[in-house]
Structure 1
Amino acid sequence: MKFAFLLLPLLPLLPLLPLLAQAQAPPLPPQADTLKAVASPLSFFGYAEAYYSYDFANPANKQRPDFLYSHNRHNEFNLNLGLLGVRYQDERVRGALALQAGTYVEANYAAEPPTLQHVSEAWAGLRLAPRLWLDAGIFTSHIGLESARSLDNPTLTRSIMADNSPYYETGAKLTFEASPTWTFTGLVLNGWQNIQDNNQNKALGSQIQFKPAQKLALNYSTFFGEGKNEAGPSLRWRHFHDVYLTWQATPALNIAAAADAGWEQQSPGSDAYHAWQAGQLVARFQTTPKTAAVFRAEYFHDPKGVVVRTASPNNLRTFGLSAGFDYAPTERAMLRLEAKQYQARDFIFPTGDELWLSSTALTALLGVSF
């Protein structure tokens, strides 16, 4: 029972087990002579976001700090993320397969085998009961307010807390849609954002989503397990908690807030832990039907370098501010502009052969979803 705490993420799901009885949907009413069109369960999708970013540190290798995985190339036009995929969904079966490319993929999937780096999603799902799904494979992370796709997020660029928590996961998950208000998910994973597992250790996760109203959503996600995917029998346990909310305060104002807290053993078998914390607050103002202004404040503190290692002996403690402008001429396309600055307590941001206390960048993005 030494690691019994790994079962904690699944405790919220235990009271729901009696609800998993099978049920049969009522038959459809007989049709008249006229034929009724039925939507195909198979659909195709694509996504592309091209960007230009200028970092005022003017890094000689054109690479922005290593802990920034999205929009990370300096003074060049490039593709952050391109996707092509297919989805399938009927009453009992669902799944998706999507391939990807871009500088985000190059940076964030560098530790994966080359044959797997370009797989964004590859999963299959089966409905076990009317409101219970089992999905397995490679899927998007259950952690965090932000995803890899800029057009799905309130801001153009990702926060440091998003770039240094999982974007993708590999494993199996049970999702129980208890009601339109509550959704519960339990997961068994290879680890902390990895496809290939380099050891015998697995991780557990949980997610609870609460939507008391159409304009308000709350999310609580956890991770318990080994986080570094290192080969060998020794391991350091990591436990992590993520909380976020989104609130449509007025027809023109959307507010999002998120907070992370994580702990990892200092050494295998140790009772001492290193900790890190992060948070952000985002306000998005819809200035016209096609334009919006976006503002974000964020904080990240990882004093022992658990998830972020910087170019200096000091590790990351920084505060960031960003301001952006969005123009969406259609529902499927958006032009985004953003200015962002990070201010650190120590000299950690590289520029040539020096280190700076701050990092300032301007980024422009054109994204299309189809």
Structure 2
Amino acid sequence: MKKKILLASCMLVAFLSKAQDSTSVVTAVEEADKGKFTFSGYIDSYYSGNLNSPKSRSNLGAAGTARVFDQRSGQISLGLVQTRIGYSTNKSDVVIDLAFGPNADLGNYGNVIGPLGEGSTALSIKQAYFNWKASEKFTLTAGQFGTHIGYEVIDAPVNFNYSLSNLFNNGPFYHVGVKGTYAFSDKASLMLGVVNGVDNMNDNNRSKGLIGQLFLAPASGWSVYLNGIVSNEANDDENGNKVAGAYSVFDLATTYQVTEKFFVGLNAAIGSQKKDFQGFEPLKTTGSSSWGGVALYSNYAITSNFALGARYEYFDNTDGARGLRNFNEMGTSVNAFTLTGNISAADGHLLIKPEFRLDSYAKVKATGAENVQQFEDKNGEFTKSSQATVGLAFIYKF
């Protein structure tokens, strides 16, 4: 009898133990499904000195587009303040990426005027989108998201160089739309999507753009991105009728971690524009205009807290399709070299980036062209076809 009671007691303990384990598993799953919040961001400021000593203290040149963000010289300037809020579960996540400051305005210019006029809070939205993980291989994204085109991004902590390339300046910044990404494996994926167009919260016409990206990882440490967008960015005519314009950019971005300390990258792009681009007229009135360029990147980690990197870029806008033009409103081309140091401090939270950059533009060769070059001198005359800047950026990330 005692043996039966003892056996029954053991069975009851085992049953309760299993029930408790099952309850723990269910509780753990429920806790995981509740999701997790994340909060991150950064602030950056910089000083830029221009060796041409332009009277206006501007780095922008005759075109007004020679730099993306570091536009002022001879002063300490605030760059951008970013706050990024994330919420994720096993099946979905959402990103609310807000940006403030001078560089936020420049990088989000299509949202300057919102539904209620100037000063709209839409200007603060750098990104706002959700991801639905429909399966282990397929993810659907909808909202406003940063462009897939190009090598560099708006976020200063992510780029090795502080100043941004002409390829970045003349490519898309962001899109509003829907896209789907299918991962064939961890070495290959394909993204396709439909967007309003380029850099515009509100579409300027009824046409929609098609975007795509093919990602490949051919070898360990090597990543390849083949990107594209095809759209009609032409404004409707004065009668409100659709204009048959065409805009396209095809882009290659690839990186390779050669060794633990040595890194190389490449960005090459070609673009085409027919008719106007959201009201901006190319120089050619018939047919298509094109632009393009290539940028080479490398950096080397000298110590755990200091790295040195260089970027060489050639950008061609001789057709005048984009805003980078010379004093005579003609198309131009530029060779640019940038040397940047990266110093990591405060346990990696603080990045200090000293930088030298030289931009050399095609010289205007014509009778009486002495004062119609790309850059301004100390007297306010445009006598320089090149400019050299030295700067120091401070970026704190959290």
* TM-based fold match above 0.5: yes
Does 1:222 find its partner at 2:228?
Answer: yes
SS in 1 for 2:70: coil
| Structure 1: gaps spanning 5 or more residues | 1-28
The superposition leaves residues 246-276 of structure 1 with CA deviations (integer Å, 9 ceiling, x where unpaired) of: 00111111001110111122579x9832111
Please report how far the alpha carbon of residue 91 of structure 1 lies from its aligned counterpart in structure 2 after TM superposition: 1.7
The superposition leaves residues 277-304 of structure 1 with CA deviations (integer Å, 9 ceiling, x where unpaired) of: 1111011011011101111110000112
Distance in structure 1 (CA, Å) of the matches to 2:219 and 2:101: 37
Does 1:364 find its partner at 2:364?
Answer: no
Match of 1:22 in 2: none
- Go from structure 1 to structure 2 and tell me whether the alpha carbon gap of 1:254 and 1:299 turns closer, same or farther (over 3 Å shift): same
| Structure 2: gaps spanning 5 or more residues | 1-20, 114-118, 278-284, 364-372
Match of 1:136 among 132, 137, 142: 142
Moved more, 250-259 or 347-356: 347-356
Match of 1:332 in 2: 349
1:197-212 alignment runs, 5 A limit: 197-212=203-218
- Go from structure 1 to structure 2 and tell me whether the alpha carbon gap of 1:328 and 1:267 turns closer, same or farther (over 3 Å shift): closer
1:148-187 alignment runs, 5 A limit: 148-187=154-193
Percent of matched pairs sharing the same residue: 19
Distance in structure 2 (CA, Å) of the matches to 1:285 and 1:227: 40
Check the 8 A contact 1:194/1:229 in 2, yes or no.
no
Superposition RMSD in Å = 2.4
SS in 2 for 1:145: coil
Match of 2:40 among 24, 36, 45: 45
Distance in structure 1 (CA, Å) of the matches to 2:236 and 2:167: 22
- Go from structure 1 to structure 2 and tell me whether the alpha carbon gap of 1:227 and 1:75 turns closer, same or farther (over 3 Å shift): farther
Larger proportion of strand: 1
Please report how far the alpha carbon of residue 355 of structure 1 lies from its aligned counterpart in structure 2 after TM superposition: 4.3
Distance in structure 2 (CA, Å) of the matches to 1:345 and 1:358: 9
- Go from structure 1 to structure 2 and tell me whether the alpha carbon gap of 1:170 and 1:179 turns closer, same or farther (over 3 Å shift): same
Distance in structure 2 (CA, Å) of the matches to 1:333 and 1:30: 46
Does 1:238 find its partner at 2:247?
Answer: yes
Distance in structure 2 (CA, Å) of the matches to 1:367 and 1:298: 24
Does 1:286 find its partner at 2:301?
Answer: yes
Distance in structure 2 (CA, Å) of the matches to 1:161 and 1:335: 24
SS in 1 for 2:302: strand
Does 1:317 find its partner at 2:323?
Answer: no
TM-score by length of 1: 0.85
Distance in structure 2 (CA, Å) of the matches to 1:160 and 1:212: 28
Please report how far the alpha carbon of residue 131 of structure 1 lies from its aligned counterpart in structure 2 after TM superposition: 1.6
Does 1:307 find its partner at 2:335?
Answer: no
* Greater Rg by CA: 2
Distance in structure 2 (CA, Å) of the matches to 1:271 and 1:173: 33
Does 1:196 find its partner at 2:195?
Answer: no
- Go from structure 1 to structure 2 and tell me whether the alpha carbon gap of 1:353 and 1:95 turns closer, same or farther (over 3 Å shift): same
TM-score by length of 2: 0.79
Please report how far the alpha carbon of residue 32 of structure 1 lies from its aligned counterpart in structure 2 after TM superposition: 5.8
Check the 8 A contact 1:192/1:226 in 2, yes or no.
no
Distance in structure 1 (CA, Å) of the matches to 2:236 and 2:360: 32
Moved more, 317-326 or 92-101: 92-101
Check the 8 A contact 1:154/1:282 in 2, yes or no.
no
Match of 1:6 in 2: none
- Go from structure 1 to structure 2 and tell me whether the alpha carbon gap of 1:324 and 1:203 turns closer, same or farther (over 3 Å shift): same
One-letter amino acid of the structure 2 residue matched with residue 260 of structure 1: A
SS in 2 for 1:151: coil
- Go from structure 1 to structure 2 and tell me whether the alpha carbon gap of 1:63 and 1:110 turns closer, same or farther (over 3 Å shift): farther
The superposition leaves residues 333-360 of structure 1 with CA deviations (integer Å, 9 ceiling, x where unpaired) of: 2111110001111322344232421021
Moved more, 351-360 or 251-260: 351-360
Larger proportion of helix: 2
SS in 1 for 2:148: coil
One-letter amino acid of the structure 2 residue matched with residue 44 of structure 1: F
Check the 8 A contact 2:160/2:342 in 1, yes or no.
no
Check the 8 A contact 1:315/1:348 in 2, yes or no.
no
